[in-house]
C-alpha cells in the first residue's frame, strides 16, 4: 500500500491548483463558477419568451465570476473547461397579476430545463419561478443562458434585488 501526503497541488507555473486541509476538505480556487444578477430593471414583454439580460456580477452582493467565463455582454456562461456543470436560475416579476412566470435554461439556443411559478391573481403579487439542471459543457462552443415568459397582459419588470433574480452555476 502506498500513501501520498500533500496539502497542496500546483500547476506547472507554481500556482496553487488544489489544496487539501487536515479534515480532507478539497479547495479548488480556480474552479469555474459564477453568480450574476441584473444591473437595472429589465422589462419582459407579455407572452413572449425573452432573454434575461444578466449583466451584473455584483461582488458587493455576493456575485462572482471565477474564471471569467460569464459574458455580461452576451448574457451567457461559456466555460473553456469541459465537464459537467450545475446551473440554477431564479426570477421574480414585479407588481404583476399573472397566472404564471416561466423560467428557462437554454443551452446553445435550445431549452434544456423549464419551470413555472403561479399565483392566484392577487393584486400586485410578486410571482417567482426557479429551475436548475445538470449538463455537460464541451469547453469550447457550449453556452447557457436564461429566458423568461409571463402572461400578465402587458410588459413587466424583473425584480433586480440580488438573491431574487439571479443566475449561477459551477463545474461539478
Q: For residue range 69-101, list pLDDT tens digits in order.
A: 999 999 999 999 999 999 999 999 986 666 789
Residue 23 DSSP code: T
Beta bridge partners of 170: 33, 86
- Using CA atoms, how far apart are residues 38 and 56, in angstroms rounded to an integer? 5
- Per-residue pLDDT band for 126 (boundaries 50, 70, 90) equals confident
Tell me which residue of 18, 31, 172 sits closest to 4, measured CA to CA.
Answer: 18
- Per-residue pLDDT band for 142 (boundaries 50, 70, 90) equals very high
Q: What percent of the chain stands above pLDDT 70? A: 95
Q: For residue range 51-75, list pLDDT tens digits in order.
A: 999 999 877 778 999 999 999 999 9
Sign, Cα dihedral of 75, 38, 69, 107: negative
Domains of the chain: 31-171 (2.60.120.40)
Amino acid at each position: 500500500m502506498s500513501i501520498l501526503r500533500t496539502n497542496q497541488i500546483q500547476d506547472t507555473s507554481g500556482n496553487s491548483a488544489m489544496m487539501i486541509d487536515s479534515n480532507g476538505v478539497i479547495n479548488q480556487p480556480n474552479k469555474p463558477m459564477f453568480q450574476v444578477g441584473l444591473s437595472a430593471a429589465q422589462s419582459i414583454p407579455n407572452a413572449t419568451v425573452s432573454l434575461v439580460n444578466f449583466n451584473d456580477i455584483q461582488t458587493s452582493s455576493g456575485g462572482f465570476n471565477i474564471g471569467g467565463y460569464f459574458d455580461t455582454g452576451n448574457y451567457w456562461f461559456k466555460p473553456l473547461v469541459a465537464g459537467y456543470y450545475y446551473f440554477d436560475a431564479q426570477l421574480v416579476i414585479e407588481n404583476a397579476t399573472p397566472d404564471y412566470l416561466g423560467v428557462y435554461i437554454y443551452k446553445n439556443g435550445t431549452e434544456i430545463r423549464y419551470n413555472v411559478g403561479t399565483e392566484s391573481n392577487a393584486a400586485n403579487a410578486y410571482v417567482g419561478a426557479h429551475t436548475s439542471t445538470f449538463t455537460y459543457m464541451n469547453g469550447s462552443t457550449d453556452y447557457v443562458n436564461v429566458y423568461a415568459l409571463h402572461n400578465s397582459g402587458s410588459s413587466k419588470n424583473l425584480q433586480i434585488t440580488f438573491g431574487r433574480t439571479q443566475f449561477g452555476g459551477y463545474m461539478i
